[in-house]
Each structure stands twice: as structure tokens, then as C-alpha cells.
A and B are shown apart, each in its own frame.
Chain A
Amino acid sequence: MSQHAAAEQFLYSKISTISGLGATGGIHAGVAPDAVCPYVTFESLSSLDVSVISGHRLMTDLLYLVKCYTVSESPTKGGSFASADDMADAIYSAIHQQQDVSVTDGLILSCVREEPYSEIEQDEGFAYYIRGGIYRIRVS
């Protein structure tokens, strides 16, 4: 049983069922250099076991970064955060404050967004507009 697998199953199952998300490039665990925008990625940033004195693990505290990528139409044209925002908001509504969700590899005790995330990346002249959030996921 892997706590990371449980968290990723939770994220994937919740995000993939959002109707009208618009992530035509798919939902990826980790980096997806060849994916076509718009798409969603999630990656682990930190993991800590919460144990009692006897060493029994109560839960695992994980931090996940969820990113929604959109791209400008062409190198000469600028874009906007609008559709990345819509995707990030839909994901926020689907996973923020979720509790006691069973997945194949474990039980998700809670999922809470701790920080919003925003960034613009430049690659080969294109501007990539990224929005998302850092989510704390507690897995039993």
C-alpha cells in the first residue's frame, strides 16, 4: 500500500470526472513535456508520516501541487489566464475539503488547499499560463 498512490488515485478520480474541465491534453501524474495544452498535472512536494510514540503510523501528510496548463495561440500573440483559472476553480470545487474518500490504495482523510499557485512559463516563444494550487492530503 502506498500513500502516494492513494493520493494520486484520489486526485485522478476526482479531476477526471469534472464535466467541462476542458483538459483535452489529459491529466498527468508528474511532468508531461509532450502533452498538448490545455492539460493538468499533479506532483508530490512533501510527505511526512504522523506517528505515535510506539511507532504506529496514524496517517501520512502529503503536499501535492496541482497545475493547469494553457498556452498562448502563437508566439506573437499573448494569451490570458482565463481558461487556466476556470480549470483551477473547477478542480478546487471538486477536491477542496473532501473527507473520508475511499480509494483502492487507502483512505483519504482530508484534502485542503493551502495555497493557490500561479506562474507564466516561456518556451520556444510560447507563453504557458499556469494556475492551480498546493493541496494538503492526509492519507490513512
Chain B
Amino acid sequence: MAGKYVKVIFDKSKMAESAFKESASKAIQKVCLELQNEARSRAPKDTGALAASIYHIIPTDSTGDKFHSDYSQAKSKANSMHRKRVKSNARKQKKTVYAWGIKNIMARKRKFKRGPNQIVGLVAVGAFYRNPVEFGSKKMSAKPFFIPSVESKSSAFDEYCARELGAKLGRL
């Protein structure tokens, strides 16, 4: 057999690349949803509008080109909770509520920026009064809910990504 051999080459780099993108995309989807739920559960509740105003934008495919956003859902829920409170307060004080009195509490939807070959997810708080609640103000102490949620979920992405990627690479 000297000098005779069979050379078989399997180039799996493309498959590994797509496996990595797919697992990163799945991991981001999971982390964004978990972070959103965690922040919603930690948010201080009076009317519940602050918690309802937390939304996410996540990629729904492996390339990260298609997105899912629940901003409009969060907007209508948070606004309806806020309006209910404004109307009930007005009823108690026997005042008329004018249309301008019922504010839209949501800030504009955050722009979703993505560089080439990046898979990005976003979790944001829509209510305009998020900063005084999170960081406090001159007259009110801080009631942080978003930063502790981020802190508690900071290692989740690595864990999910490693698990997904390990499972995918094992199949190659």
C-alpha cells in the first residue's frame, strides 16, 4: 500500500458557521424573553403600567434579518392601565377627564441598530418615568428593577449559547 492512499476531506466550516448563528439567535431570543419577564416581575407596581411597558425586539431567524417586536402590544396595555387610573382618580375627585389629560406614557420605540454579521436583541422600558424609578430623584429614592434583572441574567446568554452550540456541533 506504500504511496497509495485515499484522502477524504469534509469541510464543515460553513455548517459550523450557520450552527453558531442559529444557536446565538436562539440564545438571544431566550435571554431577551427571560430578561423581559424578570424586569416585569421586579418592576414596582402601582397601576402596573411600568411593568406592562417593558418590551423586547428580537431576531427570529438565524441571520438576524427578521425581527419580532412586542412594542405595540406593550404600548396599548401600558396606556390602557394608565388611562384606567386617570379616569378612576377623576371620578373620585369628581373632575372631567379631557383627552389631553390621558397621556401616552410610552416613549418612542427604540431604534434597532445592527452591524454586519451581528445578531442583536433589545429589551427596553417604554414608560417615560422609568429613569426616576430606576435611579431615584431629588425627592424619591431609587427603586431599581431593570439593572438587577440584567445583573441576574448576565451569565444566561453564555450558558444558553454554549448549550445550543454544543448540541448543534455534536450533530455535525
Contacts and interface: CB of A to CB of B under 8 A. Distances in A.
Point out which of B137, B138, B141, B148 has the most chain A C-beta atoms below 10 A from its C-beta: B138
Contacts of A46: 144, 147-148, 151
Interface string A10-43: 0000000000000000000011010000000001
Interface residues of B, number: 15
Interface residues of A, number: 18
Interface in A41-80: 43-48, 61, 63, 65, 69
B142 interface: yes
Given A31-B136, A119-B131, A119-B135, A45 B141 contact: no
B139 A43 contact: no
Point out which of A31, A45, A117 has the most chain B C-beta atoms below 10 A from its C-beta: A45
A11 to B, nearest CB: 15
Nearest to B131: A119
A48 B138 contact: no
Interface in B104-118: none
A121 B144 CA distance: 18
Nearest to A63: B147
Interface of B: 131, 134-142, 144, 147-148, 151-152
